[in-house]
Amino acid sequence: MSQHVHIFSARILSGHLHFYSGLSGPADGEDPAHIHPVKATTTAGGDHEHAINLETGPPLPTGAGHVHPIAGVTGENGEPPHADRLQDLTGPSLPLR
């Protein structure tokens, strides 16, 4: 498996709305069950934003390669302080040149 990254983009709706998007870090090694780091900051929703610092789940095969699940909890922020849950899939892999 060649070195690659994944685009991710989604929204979080939990009483207020946040969007997030970015590019994953490259996988660590050539393992077929590899994972990617995912770091981003949500857009402001309800006058605050959240940090996202997660790892993807293992790859899920598709007809055109694979995607990865992204699931977890954002960093805590806001008034009152809270974290938001997120769950989505990355886009397909993009080769690193």
Query: What is the average pLDDT across 8-25?
Result: 90
Res. 97 pLDDT band, cuts 50 70 90: confident
Judge residue 68's burial from the number of C-beta atoms within 10 Å of its C-beta, 0-12 exposed, 13-18 middle, 19 or more buried: buried
What pTM was estimated for this model as a whole? 0.89
- What gap in Å lies between CA 26 and CA 71, rounded to an integer? 18
